Structure 1
Amino acid sequence: MQKLYFTQELPISLDEAWAFFSNPVNLKEITPAHMGFVVTSKHHGDVMYPGQIIRYIVKPVLGIPLKWCTEITHVEDKKYFVDEQRFGPYAFWHHQHHFTAVAGGVLMEDILNYKVPLGFLGNIVDALFVRKEVTGIFEYRKKVLTEKFR
């Protein structure tokens, strides 16, 4: 099991941060284009809720499309939400998104626990590729958000 932790402060209100990050449609905007990320599920309204299922297509390796399905398992309005993979490329995926109002804006914290399938071989693939790719996605996100919310 791997654990990654990322933080970012943005000069926006807690309300604005929550509205942006709790809407699955905005995920494409903060995901690198080479990932071919598309939300395929339809969502009714803008309110995130426990039990919400979000389906995606993602192309993480060689442009090969993979179906990915996550469930929003926990939500505390304007504080945090958790998405967990129900099926997809990982053996385990648990992603916490935390939001805290701070002087001048909002602090966002991402806590990601994941495991690549295939046991020992998966550990090698993670060390050579997956961890770098996941970290790169969060670095890309940080850059895009910094530009978007100057």
Structure 2
Amino acid sequence: MKVYSKKSVQHVNASIEECWAFFSSPRNLQKMTPKTMGFEITDFDGENMYPGQIIQYKVSPLFGIKLIWVTEITIVEEQRYFVDEQRFGPYTLWHHKHFFEPTENGVKMTDLVHYAIPFGFIGRMMNALVVKNKLNEIFEYRANRVNEIFNSK
């Protein structure tokens, strides 16, 4: 199994409290996801993030095909980091760490995703041709939304 990684670092013009409140709320996931993904939370307990929380979505990452994606919040360290892991969905492995570090003028936000795709050689080809680019688009969209929400004040 080939494991890939994607790292993103962005400055957020907000306090650590504001930043954490926004990003640790599953209610805000849809605001940070491109509309073309057809993202919809289908099962969520309505609570703020906590270890063991299960969130279920429908997404259409490719060709409009609806997929069910279930993630678990496995680790939460208030105002420092949290981890979400896929329990069911399109990846063989999805492990996403979200780090928040206060700076003099805001928060340094770092995302690190490790992922693997099923189907061996075909999966590696799909990553090279489609998946890697789609993830880059999603992270670019998210960076633009962060700029709109926090950095354009």
Normalising by structure 2, we get a TM-score of: 0.95
Aligned to 1:88: 89
Distance 1:45 1:126 in 2: 34
Q: Deviations over 1:121-149 (max 9, x none)?
A: 10000000000100110001001110111
Which among 6, 23, 29 is matched to residue 25 of structure 2?
23
Q: Give the superposition deviation at 1:64.
A: 1.0
Distance 1:44 1:145 in 2: 23
Matches within 5 A, 1:109-124: 109-124=110-125
Q: In terms of mean alpha carbon deviation, does 37-46 or 99-108 score higher?
A: 37-46
Distance 2:44 2:55 in 1: 8
Q: Deviations over 1:17-51 (max 9, x none)?
A: 111111111111111100000111132332x1110
Distance 1:97 1:73 in 2: 12
Task: Show structure 1 runs of 4+ deviating over 4 A.
Answer: none
Matched-pair contact (CA < 8 Å) for 2:44–2:54: no
Distance 1:56 1:45 in 2: 16
Q: Give the superposition deviation at 1:62.
A: 1.3
Query: How many residues get paired?
Result: 149
Aligned to 2:108: 107
Distance 2:89 2:61 in 1: 12
Matches within 5 A, 1:1-150: 1-46=3-48, 48-149=49-150, 150=152
Query: Any unmatched runs of 5+ in structure 1?
Result: none
Distance 2:18 2:119 in 1: 40
Question: What is the root-mean-square deviation of aligned Cα atoms in Å?
Answer: 0.8
Identity of aligned residues (%): 48
Normalising by structure 1, we get a TM-score of: 0.97
Match of 1:147, SS? helix
| Counterpart residue identity of residue 61, structure 1 | L
